[in-house]
Amino acid sequence: MTYVALLRGINVGGKSPMKMAPLRACLEDAGLKRVATHIQSGNIIFDADQRSAAPLIATIEKALSTTFGYKAPVLVRSHAQFKSVLADSPRTWTSGNHLRRYIAFLREPITAKQALKEVMIKEGIDTVSAGSGVLYMSTLLSGLSKSGLTKLVSKPIYQDMTIRNYSTCMKMLELIEQR
């Protein structure tokens, strides 16, 4: 079965630096198969025999902690779950040249409904909607400096999510489906 693992906070602003070749080797040594990465921000595609994310998360977190001293949540979604998240994204995003579009993947047991309560938006500039284990967040490019979404990093809920650009997610889905 094919999965996506999303690491939180690596290679961001010079913090938690991690090279992708050693990362792939670490995860292969931990028993994952056909490990591939996309860009330098902790986007991992792999195969595994397990049918549940929980043991995969435990395996990945232990391997990363042991090898790199990385102690942050890892989020895992199956190919089908990842594809569904993208299929359910707001319809306005397909022609979103005027938007900055992000998907916030939530770590269980946090629900989208819970996370949504914590997000502050600037009316007329930001939009946020709940999906299955995610929040879909967008900001008008013309209003980036006024966005309320920047306040999310100061909220405790931020520690239970990892955010990816919609275009990055679409590219990852393409890479998965080419396997």
What pLDDT score was predicted for residue 49? 94
Task: Return the C-alpha torsion angle 117, 121, 126, 128, nearest 10.
Answer: 0
What pLDDT score was predicted for residue 27? 97
What pLDDT score was predicted for residue 94? 78
Shortest CA distance to 16 belongs to which of 60, 65, 59? 65
- pLDDT per position as a tens digit, 29-52: 999 999 999 998 899 999 999 989
- pLDDT per position as a tens digit, 1-32: 999 999 987 766 666 678 899 999 999 999 99
Report helix, strand or coil for 130. Answer: strand
What percentage of the chain exceeds 70 in pLDDT?
A: 96
Sketch out the chain's domains with CATH numbers: 2-81 (3.30.70.1280), 89-165 (3.30.70.1260)
Of 2-11, 33-42, 74-83, 154-163, the least confident: 2-11
Residue 113's CB is within 10 A of a number of other CB atoms, namely: 8
Parallel, antiparallel or unpaired: strands 43-47 and 2-7: antiparallel
